[in-house]
Chains A and B, each alone.
Chain A
Amino acid sequence: MPKTKIYLDNNATTPLHPRVRKKMINTMDVFGNPSSLHQFGREARSLIQNARRDIADFINADPDEIIFAGSGSEANNTVLSMLTCPSKPCTIRSEQKPHVITTEIEHPCILETASCINQTAEVDYLGVDELGKIDLKELKRKLKNNTILVSVMMANNEIGTIQEIKKITEIVKQHGSLMHTDAVQAVGKLPADVKDLDVDYLSMSAHKIYGPKGIGALYIKNGAPFCPFIRGGHQEKGRRAGTENTMGIIGFGEAIRLRKEEMLSEEKRLKKLRQKLKTGLENNIKKIKFIGDQEDTLPNTLNVAFYGVEGESILLYLDNAGIAVSTGSACSSGSTKPSHVISATGLEQEYIHGSIRISMGRNTTEEDIDYTIETFTKVIQKLRSFTTFNNETEK
């Protein structure tokens, strides 16, 4: 194993914040079932309510508008699956076959659920431009009488592009449809105010913001239709059955509370590091492209594609040098198709298989970035020395 350990894959997951860790350890013996009326239950319940309040505070919601879920993916599944609830009294059931609009660059937990519900609902996908942004005019065109829900992610996990959720929601609400945003990558890296955004549903996750894995949350606006995804219990006011993951919830609450304290100063620092990294790579390496919107972007995310080199090779050479990143290349996933997000931006084939996502975090230092630029320069030079992509094959 290399001695160097530089973790630049914070969009995949983040390490626990030391204070989150401490809080979780301090409360890990709180074992009571939060539903129990006795002191053991009450103790757990009160800790959960505190966490719920911290999360609600962060997004300017009412604590009652937050339910916990097993992950961000579960929160997303919950929203889309409401449309196919077989129960008659279910409030979201419409007379017509429901129509849903989402985008081509959503996380697979939205896209796969969308393709599953395709039997009972009609699904339309919005494309994106080369920066990864949806076209509001296309959204307007695609809204129909029976459009019941629009789901657009707030910030993209692969390329960092931020969508104009407020403007999108305005259009959707004007039309009388419901609005969901997958904010798993956004909340805690960016501020999000549900009152200002006016969305009906918003999904979040703890492990992207230095909290524990296995815990997510869903904001459900007061009065918005809802139907549980996991049934059979009165927990979360009947909106999500199953005994609560007390320790996960406590960790989530602490993580988001700390984000409120640290996020803004960190955003400034990360923006500088991102610029440094971008300039460094640009200066040292020819034929590279930066993918996604370079202005409206997550401050920690830089997605870069290298002409004529394959992503998995880059990733493994970097790993060997102690740097952890991720790639959208086909080979990394074992499929023959490259990332659906990068493909949706229309990037050229010569670049598309060589895309690397660098996602920094609160532990990333300036020295890390210096070393990363230096290592990338060597790795790309070496890999390009044995690539066929210098027109040899055309002669």
Chain B
Amino acid sequence: MDTPKWVYSEQVKEHFMDPHNVLEGKPDDFDHDGKGIAGSMQCGDEMLFLIKVDKAQEIITDCRWKTFGCASAIASASKLSDMVKGMQLEEAYQINANDIIVELGGLPDKKVHCSVLGDKALRAAIKNYYQRIGEPEKIPEDYNRLICECKNVTEKDIEDVVLDNIRDFRKLQEETGLGTVCGQCIDEAKQIMQDYIGHYFESRKQKD
């Protein structure tokens, strides 16, 4: 009888046990051009991401990170740090949790939300870089469109709820209040929710 060797994928294990590009010491110990922070201690995870940028080519030449997080958060950050080296800022900004999860050989659904911290912190670092060099207009546009005007719920909020492994529209409404006043946004919000579920969970399952 074989005992499964490990609870997550082998790739997750490699990155978790021996993570790449961890920041040693304090942020100032690493010469960086952009710094981003995501998550909060209240949720039990937090991520710091530092990038070094080749200004002429707008390429990330090096990076470091630190996290207070679980195995999935650590492995995701490590994988992401490998992925972004040598990458154009614009391209790096578009990386999302799903890209990292695919590279990691998959994560259980309930752990998906632990892996979004890395790309969030990276985007924050890229924003921070553009602000530092005085070119904030270059910050790519976020998909932070307002969906429910009554309750001030954005597309991003819907994504966050899906990442918490919630699939039920009524649950989404309970969490955010979306569509509970005038209800005009309900059809669109349902579609967005479905799209995110497909994006994060179902599309990957088919690939497996």
* A interface residues (Cβ-Cβ under 8 A, vs B): 1, 308-313, 316-317, 320, 329-332, 334, 336, 338, 349-350, 353, 385-390, 392-393, 395
* B interface residues (Cβ-Cβ under 8 A, vs A): 3, 5, 7, 16-17, 19, 22-24, 26-27, 37, 41-48, 65-74, 108, 110-111, 113-114, 164-165
Q: Hey, which chain B residues are within 8 Å of A310, CB to CB?
A: 44-45, 68-70, 73
Q: Hey, which chain A residues are within 8 Å of B71, CB to CB?
A: 312-313, 316, 331
Listed from nearest, the 3 A-B pairs whose CB atoms lie closest are A334-B110, A331-B70, A312-B70
Q: Shortest distance in angstroms between B73's beta carbon and chain A's nearest beta carbon?
A: 8
Q: Hey, which chain B residues are within 8 Å of A1, CB to CB?
A: 3, 5
Q: Hey, which chain A residues are within 8 Å of B26, CB to CB?
A: 390, 392, 395
Q: Shortest distance in angstroms between B123's beta carbon and chain A's nearest beta carbon?
A: 16
Q: Hey, which chain B residues are within 8 Å of A385, CB to CB?
A: 22, 24
Contact B67 A387 (CB under 8 A): yes
Tell me the complex Cα distance, A316–B7, Å.
9
Given the known A-B contacts A386-B22, A389-B68, are A313 and B74 also in contact in the complex, defined by CB atoms under 8 Å? yes
Residue of chain B at shortest CB distance from A333: B110
Contact A330 B66 (CB under 8 A): no
Q: Shortest distance in angstroms between B12's beta carbon and chain A's nearest beta carbon?
A: 10
Given the known A-B contacts A310-B69, A386-B67, are A331 and B114 also in contact in the complex, defined by CB atoms under 8 Å? yes
Given the known A-B contacts A316-B7, A388-B66, are A393 and B37 also in contact in the complex, defined by CB atoms under 8 Å? yes
Tell me the complex Cα distance, A308–B111, Å.
20
Given the known A-B contacts A331-B114, A334-B111, A349-B42, are A320 and B70 also in contact in the complex, defined by CB atoms under 8 Å? no
Q: Hey, which chain A residues are within 8 Å of B17, CB to CB?
A: 317, 320
Contact B164 A336 (CB under 8 A): yes
Q: Hey, which chain A residues are within 8 Å of B113, CB to CB?
A: 336
Give the dominant DSSP class at B's interface.
Answer: mixed
Residue of chain B at shortest CB distance from A308: B68
Q: Shortest distance in angstroms between B69's beta carbon and chain A's nearest beta carbon?
A: 6
Given the known A-B contacts A1-B5, A313-B70, A388-B66, are A329 and B44 also in contact in the complex, defined by CB atoms under 8 Å? yes
Tell me the complex Cα distance, A310–B19, Å.
16
Residue of chain B at shortest CB distance from A327: B70
Determine which residue in B41, B108, B165 has the highest number of CB atoms from chain A within 10 A of its CB, and name it: B41
Q: Shortest distance in angstroms between B6's beta carbon and chain A's nearest beta carbon?
A: 8
Given the known A-B contacts A320-B17, A386-B67, A388-B67, are A393 and B46 also in contact in the complex, defined by CB atoms under 8 Å? yes
Given the known A-B contacts A320-B17, A392-B26, are A313 and B69 also in contact in the complex, defined by CB atoms under 8 Å? yes
Contact B46 A388 (CB under 8 A): yes
Contact B16 A316 (CB under 8 A): yes
Q: Hey, which chain A residues are within 8 Å of B43, CB to CB?
A: 330, 336
Given pairs A329-B44, A386-B66, A392-B27, 14 additional interface contacts (CB within 8 A) = A310-B44, A310-B45, A312-B71, A313-B70, A320-B17, A330-B44, A331-B44, A334-B108, A385-B22, A387-B66, A388-B66, A389-B46, A393-B37, A395-B27
Q: Shortest distance in angstroms between A341's beta carbon and chain B's nearest beta carbon?
A: 16
Tell me the complex Cα distance, A114–B43, Å.
27
Residue of chain A at shortest CB distance from B71: A316
Q: Hey, which chain A residues are within 8 Å of B65, CB to CB?
A: 386
Q: Shortest distance in angstroms between B38's beta carbon and chain A's nearest beta carbon?
A: 10
Determine which residue in A311, A316, A332 has the highest number of CB atoms from chain B within 10 A of its CB, and name it: A316
| Set A329, A350, A393: member contacting B48, Cβ < 8 A | A393
Tell me the complex Cα distance, A309–B110, Å.
20
Q: Hey, which chain A residues are within 8 Å of B45, CB to CB?
A: 310, 331
Tell me the complex Cα distance, A329–B17, Å.
19
Q: Hey, which chain B residues are within 8 Å of A316, CB to CB?
A: 7, 16, 71
Tell me the complex Cα distance, A344–B68, Å.
22
Tell me the complex Cα distance, A392–B74, Å.
17
Q: Shortest distance in angstroms between A385's beta carbon and chain B's nearest beta carbon?
A: 7
Q: Hey, which chain A residues are within 8 Å of B41, CB to CB?
A: 349-350, 353, 389
Q: Hey, which chain B residues are within 8 Å of A329, CB to CB?
A: 44, 70
Q: Shortest distance in angstroms between B95's beta carbon and chain A's nearest beta carbon?
A: 20
| Set A320, A332, A350, A386: member contacting B19, Cβ < 8 A | A386
Q: Hey, which chain A residues are within 8 Å of B46, CB to CB?
A: 388-389, 393
Tell me the complex Cα distance, A349–B23, Å.
23
Tell me the complex Cα distance, A329–B23, Å.
24
Tell me the complex Cα distance, A69–B71, Å.
38
Q: Hey, which chain B residues are within 8 Å of A311, CB to CB?
A: 70
Tell me the complex Cα distance, A1–B70, Å.
21
Given the known A-B contacts A334-B111, A336-B164, are A388 and B48 also in contact in the complex, defined by CB atoms under 8 Å? yes
Q: Hey, which chain A residues are within 8 Å of B70, CB to CB?
A: 310-313, 329, 331-332
Q: Hey, which chain B residues are within 8 Å of A386, CB to CB?
A: 19, 22-23, 65-67, 74
| Set A353, A388, A393, A395: member contacting B44, Cβ < 8 A | A353
Q: Hey, which chain A residues are within 8 Å of B24, CB to CB?
A: 385
Tell me the complex Cα distance, A353–B68, Å.
10
Tell me the complex Cα distance, A320–B17, Å.
9
Contact A392 B66 (CB under 8 A): yes
